[in-house]
Amino acid sequence: MMQGKRSFPIGTFVLSILVLLGLAVMIIRYIYGLGAISNLSDGRAWGLWISFDLYCGVALAAGGFTLAGVVYIFNLKKYHAVARPAVLTAFLGYTLVILALLVDLGQPWYIWHILISWNIHSPLFEVGVCVMTYAVVLALEFVPAVFEGLGRSILPGIRRIDWHAPWRVIRTIQIPLVVLGIVLSTLHQSSLGSMLLMMPETLHALWYTPILPILFLVSAVAVGPAMVIFESTLSTRIFGHKLDIDVLSGLARAIPYLLGIFLILKVFELAAVGELGLIFTAYPQNLLWWGEIIIGVILPIILLSMSGVRQSRRAVFWCSLLVIAGLILNRFNVSMLALDMRPGTIYFPHWMEFAISVGLVADALLVIWLAHRLLPIHREEGEEEEEKKPGRIVRQVSEA
Amino acid sequence: MSKAVLYDSTKCIGCRACQVACKQWNELPAETTTNQGTYENPPKLSAKTFTKIRFTEVEDNGKFHFVFNKVQCMHCEHPACVAACPVGALQKTPEGPVVYDDNKCFGCRYCMVACPFGIPTFEWDDPLPWIRKCTFCADRQGGGLKPACVTACPTGALKFGEREEILAEARERITAQPDNYVDYIYGEKEVGGTSWLYLSPVPFEKLGFPVLGSKAVTLDAERAMGAVPPVLIGVAAVMSGIYWLVKRRDKMSQGKDGEKEKEEVTK
């Protein structure tokens, strides 16, 4: 079932070029320093990489823990088919975050200092530890698919190894892994917001609020299903695993509730501290605020509340894009556009900064493409194995 | 116990001996700069310049003032950089200085973003870069010496001592010559107080000093981090509980074999 698909060589060729370009820029960085490849300066110490790769990357990878929770904790079986792709993209998302930090950090090879030299008061300490641990958890959550793929490899030498032994071990600890993943995600998704609490003087009042960690968590959970819709629609187009519309509309139905919570928290908090007027007076920042609220919150709430919209694959896809765009704008607002790190500094990313970020995304797309071709990621192993698993009663839902 | 420096800008003559002394003591290289149309040089702090004198021409109460002020790390009482640093490479010592340890740092630059005064700098043109900033000459202080800049100052514009005594002296100077100073000590309350204190003949905001509240900028983040252990335990417990409940319910309903497909989507 994996064969006979378009291999789109042109696409992979372009992606490979982008990856190589990113690598070239990385080499320049390690010879001439960060100043040579970026417009970062003392006035603007964090730029595109932190806003896009870290802030957006981590939030957009939230599909992994939300879907793992829905499928394995709440045991909603119909979403089973999308759990693995979600976990894979989440794992790649976190790998990208870590790779981006290899360029962004001054001395990335000392990143392990975070494991031995703790500052428990630093939100970034928590983010660092959680991201590292969670990347491992995601790898373990996904690795059963790799074992299954190896078990039916075309190379007889590899196929003959008993891949079921490690597979069974991972399956036994699957539920604790999922719970750990949810705990770690809750902590670091919110702590990315806590990081900004250190900047009450420089982050614009429209965004600065002590409840930023909660807003970050809620918006990440809301964008989780949107990302899953987005990814599975694309993979349907490219790889042809057609998903049940029931699954898509079920995911879409959750989004308005989550965005509703986000909107209420955000508006009521502004009203509570008497700063609601800023949304009309704080020009030009209020345009950014309205942008993220209308695109990413109000429009999706209205559209996805209509059952007709939820029944159309195309409409659900475009709504999920709105949610994602709104979230990206939100994360750029809080970490770049509305954060006046050192007043008077104007910053626009250098093209080589874009090259690094684009190269990393291309990396991930190549890996996803390979995984879809080589690994059984839209279904799981046969039933006879399933029944023996302690702590798991998820059965094969479809042969899709 | 904690040390402080009073910078009295009415006594400063802008000779920049402090700048030179700082470079000498910290073995910092010179910078190549271009003429900016002012005596002020270099234009800003950098990894090679920990302190500089800023020259400001300003009109106040109909009078023209040519005012100097010294820029360097303020050595806050509740430093944002110290709270921000994930590995504790920055520490506030009980003696006053906020010191940096490059044996711990890995170059994340959160300190630079968090600092309300915009002080820490980074070695942007070095492939193996570190954070750089004024050390308050913690090494000299450890040997009983004054900071290099204070020692070099020929006019007494810089005064080093215990923070309480320095504050008292600053108040005395304002009371003794109320016409020469604005009635404000910058650094006494800013973001919870700093180890560097300033007197000026004109309002500080006119000199480009950031206007900051008296609340330590670390408070909200501290509160959020305090919630981490209960959240960790709470989420783990709730998720395990839901898993157990759902599993139990599914087992019970398995006898009926009525597949309830229309379940509410909770997440």
Whether the per-residue pLDDT at A8 is higher than 80: the answer is: no
Angle between helices A351-374 and A80-104 (to 10 degrees): 150
Residue B228, domain extent: 222-253
Predicted confidence band of residue A378 (pLDDT cuts 50, 70, 90): low
Q: Are residues B198 and B243 in the same domain?
A: no
Q: Are residues B145 and B199 in the same domain?
A: yes
- Rounded mean pLDDT, A44-70: 94
> Does some domain include residue B125?
no
Q: Are residues B208 and B247 in the same domain?
A: no
Q: Are residues B198 and B229 in the same domain?
A: no
Predicted confidence band of residue A7 (pLDDT cuts 50, 70, 90): low
Whichever domain contains B60, its CATH number is 3.30.70.20
- pLDDT above 70 as % of chain B: 95
B24 in helix, strand or coil?
helix
Q: Are residues B239 and B185 in the same domain?
A: no
Contact A122, B85 (CB under 8 A): yes
Whether the per-residue pLDDT at B166 is higher than 60: the answer is: yes
Predicted confidence band of residue A384 (pLDDT cuts 50, 70, 90): very low
User: Which has the minimum average pLDDT: A240-244, A393-397, B114-118?
Assistant: A393-397
> Does some domain include residue B203?
yes
Residues 6 or more apart whose CB falls under 8 angstroms from that of B121 comprise A42, B45, B46, B47, B112, B131, B132, B133
> Does some domain include residue B261?
no
Whether the per-residue pLDDT at A381 is higher than 90: the answer is: no
Q: Tell if the CB–CB gap between B243 and A254 is shorter than 8 Å.
A: no
- Rounded mean pLDDT, A101-119: 93
- Give the CB-side neighbour count of residue A312, counting CA atoms within 13 A: 11
Q: Which two tokens stand for residue B186?
A: 């910058």
- Sheet with B196-199, strands from edge to edge, namely B158-162, B3-8, B196-199
Predicted confidence band of residue A161 (pLDDT cuts 50, 70, 90): confident
Q: Which residues are B6's β-sheet partners?
A: B159, B197
Q: Are residues B41 and B7 in the same domain?
A: yes
Residues in chain B within 8 Å Cβ distance of A31: 127
> Distance, in angstroms, between B59 CA and closest chain A CA?
22
Q: Are residues B230 and B212 in the same domain?
A: no
- Rounded mean pLDDT, B92-100: 95
> Distance, in angstroms, between B179 CA and closest chain A CA?
31
Distance CA B252, CA A129 (A): 40
Q: Which of B113, B243, B267 sits opposite A254 (nearest CB)?
A: B267
What local confidence, expressed as pLDDT, does residue B31 receive? 93
Contact A69, A224 (CB under 8 A): no
Predicted confidence band of residue A144 (pLDDT cuts 50, 70, 90): confident
- Rounded mean pLDDT, A78-100: 89
Q: Tell if the CB–CB gap between A117 and B213 is shorter than 8 Å.
A: no
Domain count, chain B: 2
- Rounded mean pLDDT, B16-29: 96
What local confidence, expressed as pLDDT, does residue A84 receive? 84
Contact B217, B116 (CB under 8 A): yes
> Which residue is closest to B211 within chain A, CA to CA?
A201
Whether the per-residue pLDDT at A153 is higher than 80: the answer is: no
> Distance, in angstroms, between B48 CA and closest chain A CA?
12
Q: Tell if the CB–CB gap between B88 and A111 is shorter than 8 Å.
A: no
Q: Tell if the CB–CB gap between B105 and A182 is shorter than 8 Å.
A: no
Q: Are residues B138 and B239 in the same domain?
A: no
Whether the per-residue pLDDT at A391 is higher than 90: the answer is: no
The amino acid at A340: D
What local confidence, expressed as pLDDT, does residue A6 receive? 52
Residues in chain B within 8 Å Cβ distance of A197: 220-221, 224
Q: Are residues B143 and B241 in the same domain?
A: no
DSSP string, A108-169: GGGTTHHHHS--TT-HHHHHHHHHHHHHHHHHHHHHHHHHHHHHT-SSHHHHHS-THHHHHH
Q: Are residues B231 and B179 in the same domain?
A: no
Q: Tell if the CB–CB gap between B125 and A76 is shorter than 8 Å.
A: no
Q: Which of A40, A179, A198 sits opposite B80 (nearest CB)?
A: A198
> Does some domain include residue B211?
yes
Q: Are residues B227 and B185 in the same domain?
A: no
> Does some domain include residue B152?
yes
Contact B122, B131 (CB under 8 A): yes
Q: Tell if the CB–CB gap between A121 and B45 is shorter than 8 Å.
A: no
Q: Which of A76, A78, A182 sits opposite B239 (nearest CB)?
A: A182
Whether the per-residue pLDDT at A390 is higher than 60: the answer is: no
Whether the per-residue pLDDT at A266 is higher than 60: the answer is: yes
Q: Are residues B16 and B70 in the same domain?
A: yes
What local confidence, expressed as pLDDT, does residue B267 receive? 39
User: Which has the minimum average pLDDT: A268-277, A373-382, B80-89, B207-216?
Assistant: A373-382
Whether the per-residue pLDDT at A261 is higher than 80: the answer is: yes
> Does some domain include residue B228?
yes
Q: Tell if the CB–CB gap between A122 and B240 is shorter than 8 Å.
A: no
Contact A120, B225 (CB under 8 A): yes
- Give the CB-side neighbour count of residue A169, counting CA atoms within 13 A: 7
> Which residue is closest to A210 within chain B, CA to CA?
B220
> Which residue is closest to A255 within chain B, CA to CA?
B267
Whether the per-residue pLDDT at A195 is higher than 50: the answer is: yes
Residues in chain A within 8 Å Cβ distance of B46: 42
Return the top range by mean pLDDT from A139-153, A268-282, B83-97: B83-97
> Does some domain include residue B34?
yes
Whether the per-residue pLDDT at A357 is higher than 50: the answer is: yes
Q: Tell if the CB–CB gap between A106 and B105 is shorter than 8 Å.
A: yes
Residues in chain B within 8 Å Cβ distance of A341: 112-113, 118
pTM: 0.89
What local confidence, expressed as pLDDT, does residue A1 receive? 37
B207 in helix, strand or coil?
helix
Whether the per-residue pLDDT at A207 is higher than 60: the answer is: yes
Distance CA A381, CA A211 (A): 43
Question: Which domains, from first to last, does chain A contain?
Answer: 11-378 (1.20.1630.10)
B212 in helix, strand or coil?
coil
- Distances in whole angstroms, Cα of residue A367 to Cα of each of A53, A88, A91, A229, A370: 17, 10, 11, 19, 5
Q: What is the rounded average pLDDT for all residues in chain B? A: 92
- Rounded mean pLDDT, A25-39: 94
pLDDT in tens, A286-340: 999 999 999 999 999 999 999 999 999 999 999 999 999 999 999 999 999 999 9
> Does some domain include residue B7?
yes
Angle A42-B118-B8 (CA atoms, 0-180°, nearest 5)? Answer: 130
What local confidence, expressed as pLDDT, does residue A3 receive? 43
- Rounded mean pLDDT, B247-257: 79
